[in-house]
Structure 1
């Protein structure tokens, strides 16, 4: 056990009023240990230092569970999850949710599957697939209560990746930085096309960094032609 990590994690969770039992704290520590081991051979994250890891990965992810209303047993898809962030931390904070981790890179999904196995996490699926392809398949299309993404892609691109997964009445949560006004404005056309509408923008701070959650409600079905074929959303955003 890494006493320094465990102590700092507990303290930081309390600071942000995030309630975690010892079992949950241990799961986060176990996840980090597996991540650090894999990170020697696969580039999963550059954020490995204890304080940064806790704030920028764990707390930032778990703020979603504090700022977004998530019903008991909600189905959530984490699109472009990378090393399972924010998905794993949402699942640790809210064990009742049903989670799917969607990731294109095979080495990353191999890592995700090892974490699921070693941490013995239930109601979680790892899918090695491009969002543009997965969203066309019946088991995944317009199925989820919530889609979440923490990615550098612009809002109009992320919306085309994520909204097709969300059922009508569900939400897409985009985890973004402080300055998103232009992004949000540019995303209006894509949201109109894809059946989404911005419901709320929640602001919070992680350390000195200001962060925002853009909460988009799915008000209409997404037309079947979306998402377009792989590469098109980035090459020619809506």
Structure 2
């Protein structure tokens, strides 16, 4: 193992996450495909290997430090982009039934290629807008955990993601800087969408020491039928 992989495995090991040789191979293949495809389409501005391992792979797996992923059966990743955090979590926890929703078909093509290359099974990749997909019966109020990483402000994310979350399930919004202002702004959306703030976990990303926050929201009841509103409406008129 080179320094990047040694550091990656050590950081995860310190937090109780052990990776097999196969999983390490999958992460390396993921990195190689990400860089290769990034030359053809804009997937990430972070391309230096050690940075990808820290800022994308490790950062994605921090969700497992605050939720017991062994007990999670189904995970939906909304607006996943290049597959974060969904794909790293699936590599680490192969039992997960993973659904990824993204509005750009080129990104879905990339993610399908990655899943095929890495041999990931039980992954559903959906090209569509969250507002439309969440109206489909099979996805509504259906997932144990729903997550979104650096997609939008919380009031908007709540409307995108809580309709996918089952009653008593968790929506985890993965953020960078202090979300206090967003939390205050999102109070109406919690009430409207039948959810409550459970906890905000704050920590620093190792090596580069940048701030990270994970907002854990518990779903208290089925999403009212009128939500999410039609595609484009939540962004123009968020529940604030």
TM-score by length of 2: 0.94
SS in 2 for 1:153: coil
Q: Distance in 2 between matches of 1:29 and 1:178?
A: 29
CA deviation after TM superposition for structure 1 residue 64, in Å: 0.5
Corresponding residue number in structure 2 for 1:179: 178
Q: Distance in 1 between matches of 2:126 and 2:151?
A: 21
CA contact (8 A) 1:65 1:93 kept: no
Unaligned runs of 5+ in 2: none
TM-score by length of 1: 0.95
Corresponding residue number in structure 1 for 2:217: 216
Corresponding residue number in structure 2 for 1:53: 52
SS in 2 for 1:52: helix
CA contact (8 A) 2:150 2:176 kept: no
Matched, 1:234 2:232: no
CA deviation after TM superposition for structure 1 residue 227, in Å: 0.6
Q: Distance in 2 between matches of 1:6 and 1:233?
A: 41
Unaligned runs of 5+ in 1: none
Matched, 1:38 2:21: no
Pair 150,201 (structure 1): closer, same or farther in 2 beyond 3 Å: same
Corresponding residue number in structure 2 for 1:83: 82
Quote the RMSD (CA, aligned, Å): 1.5
Moved over 2 A (4+): 2-18, 69-73
Corresponding residue number in structure 2 for 1:162: 161
Count of residue pairs the alignment pairs up: 237
CA deviation after TM superposition for structure 1 residue 120, in Å: 1.0
Q: Distance in 2 between matches of 1:164 and 1:4?
A: 42
